[in-house]
Chains A and B, each alone.
Chain A
Amino acid sequence: NAGVTQTPKFQVLKTGQSMTLQCAQDMNHNSMYWYRQDPGMGLRLIYYSASEGTTDKGEVPNGYNVSRLNKREFSLRLESAAPSQTSVYFCASSGGLAHTGELFFGEGSRLTVL
């Protein structure tokens, strides 16, 4: 099993450009999340999806949109990138038949906005 896979791993954008981060999980998890990680600030929740067909804002949703395409896939879109969105983005999933509360993270996507 691949677990949680996210693409791309690295991306450089210019201010105002748009892009989509893709995430897919193969663990039959119900819940999926997008976090951003900045130095000294831990992991902050951008958006989450408790189940297929639902999405909700997290702690820092401004400037982002998400789509829960199906149970496996959850994408994060930056419509007009800003330098403040330079960060490492992690997708995660949890749940399933043996829900333990554990989050399973992807490898991360490092985004730089110039």
Chain B
Amino acid sequence: GENVEQHPSTLSVQEGDSAVIKCTYSDSASNYFPWYKQELGKRPQLIIDIRSNVGEKKDQRIAVTLNKTAKHFSLHITETQPEDSAVYFCAASIPDNAGNMLTFGGGTRLMVKP
């Protein structure tokens, strides 16, 4: 099955700095790569996703890049703010009958210091 590795496990940045979280996946058949944000005590929520026919996608301060050849993808957050503090999960999906069988990375705890 698919295996997703995520680094770093914790990341501390100063407010206004950029943050980068990296993930690698093992199965070249994976074609959908979402990122979820989970605030303390809350449910995970989708913040951005990318499909394998696209190399980069941006949404305001967040962007995701995908390198299919190397089988890795990254989340970039610019101009970080305290409200960006959360745990971020990457995931990869192989298309199947369930529509999206997601395998998640281990998570990155991002702390933005004011």
Residues of A within 8 A of B (CB): 30-31, 33, 35, 40-45, 48-51, 56, 59, 90, 94-95, 99, 101-103, 105-108
> A residues within 8 A CB of B89?
42-43
- In the complex, what distance in Å separates the CA atom of A105 from the CA atom of B102? 13
> B residues within 8 A CB of A49?
98
Do most interface residues of chain A lie in helix, strand or loop, or is the interface mixed? loop
- In the complex, what distance in Å separates the CA atom of A108 from the CA atom of B103? 18
- Interface size for B (C-beta < 8 A) is 27
- In the complex, what distance in Å separates the CA atom of A95 from the CA atom of B103? 17
> A residues within 8 A CB of B97?
50-51
Interface string of B1-25 (1 = CB under 8 A from A): 1001010010000000000000000
Pairwise interchain contact A30-B99, C-beta atoms closer than 8 A: yes
- In the complex, what distance in Å separates the CA atom of A35 from the CA atom of B99? 16
Which of B44-52, B67-75, B76-84 forms part of the interface with chain A?
B44-52
